[in-house]
Amino acid sequence: MISVLSSVIQTVLVILAAPLTVGLIRKIKARLQNRQGASVFQPYWALLSLWRKQMTITKYSSWVFHAVPFVVFATSTILALCIPALGTGSWTAQQGNLFLLATALAVGSMFLVLGGMDVASTFGGMGASREMTLAALIEPAVIITFTTLGTLANTWNFDGILHAASQTPWLTSHPFFLLTILSFICVLLAENARYPVDNPATHLELTMVHEAMILEYSGPYLAILEAASAIKLTVLGLLLMNLIFPFFLTITSPLGALASLAGFSIKLLLAAALIAGIETVFVKMRFYRMQEYMTVAYFLGLAGLILSIAF
């Protein structure tokens, strides 16, 4: 019962904190560029504003167009259920494994593509085509990176993985794990349509990928899609930070719960700072060079996997 309650609390916390992650990234990025930037709470007001607006839906859309926001949000929620955000021991983290996470990522991307193609708009089709190309390039890196995590922990569920990492931090006991971390960062940026793969703030049709697929959505549907995107970014960012800093993941007392909550906040800030720093230093790559980017990610992950098996 306690593990189930822990799952619910952690999932709700991730969902509520997801817009804050986006706000922190924008704020830190603005400060790094000598700009004031909007409030870190601006994404919350944007979601509320979208929720109150009326939707404009073309008469040529089918049931797929209406189902996409809910399916994408559901897959993002599954990601939040799989990852121990506050600490290990939750029931869903014990049941969820690497294969479930990879499947949820693939299903969410697939339905986004279907939503972009459903209304037969030029931009939607272009974004869907580019997204499928990126998905084909990124999946090998995703699989090889997750396989390394499972190999090191001798388990495929995230609760076991983070528990093993907390016992002996892999960056100190297995220095080659840094290669896997670098591959994971590349995967995180590609899965969340961030620099250098995509520009999340663009409205130029020649560079749009993710934004092109959701261009036809408005009002509550767009709010749901934006919230789902923020949740996915938060989940992968927290997973990355928990692998690098596998501390404060044991909740055995009220004091431990407070320490886990503080660790959650710090890791969320570190993840936002890392992404903001990358987006400040690197520019968006041309689309035809994406195979080079994902090839680097794949071979980094492959090197980490080979070394984990060898040593």
Instruction: Say what the pLDDT of residue 24 is.
Output: 96
In this predicted structure, the answer to whether residue 136 has a pLDDT above a threshold of 90 is no
> Which position has the higher pLDDT, 31 or 170?
31
pTM score of the predicted model: 0.92
The mean predicted confidence, pLDDT, of the chain is 86
Q: Name the pLDDT band for 222 (thresholds 50, 70, 90).
A: very high
Separation of alpha carbons 207 and 205, rounded Å: 5
Separation of alpha carbons 92 and 106, rounded Å: 20
> Which position has the higher pLDDT, 158 or 75?
75
| Nearest C-alpha neighbor of 132 from the set 209, 56, 70 | 209
Separation of alpha carbons 172 and 177, rounded Å: 9
Average pLDDT over residues 230-238: 93
In this predicted structure, the answer to whether residue 132 has a pLDDT above a threshold of 80 is yes
Tens-place pLDDT, residues 62-108: 899 999 999 999 999 998 888 888 777 777 777 777 888 888 888 98
Q: Which residues pair with 97 in a beta bridge?
A: 157
In this predicted structure, the answer to whether residue 213 has a pLDDT above a threshold of 90 is no
In this predicted structure, the answer to whether residue 135 has a pLDDT above a threshold of 90 is no
Separation of alpha carbons 81 and 149, rounded Å: 18
Average pLDDT over residues 228-254: 86
Instruction: Say what the pLDDT of residue 41 is.
Output: 95
Separation of alpha carbons 171 and 72, rounded Å: 33
Q: How many domains does the chain have?
A: 1
Q: Name the pLDDT band for 271 (thresholds 50, 70, 90).
A: very high
Lowest mean pLDDT across 30-39, 127-136, 268-277 = 127-136
Tell me the H-state helices in 33-97.
42-52, 63-82, 91-95
- Domain extent, residue 296, equals 2-310
Instruction: Say what the pLDDT of residue 168 is.
Output: 80
In this predicted structure, the answer to whether residue 290 has a pLDDT above a threshold of 90 is no
Instruction: Say what the pLDDT of residue 9 is.
Output: 85
Instruction: Say what the pLDDT of residue 227 is.
Output: 95
Say if residues 69 and 228 touch (Cβ distance below 8 Å). yes
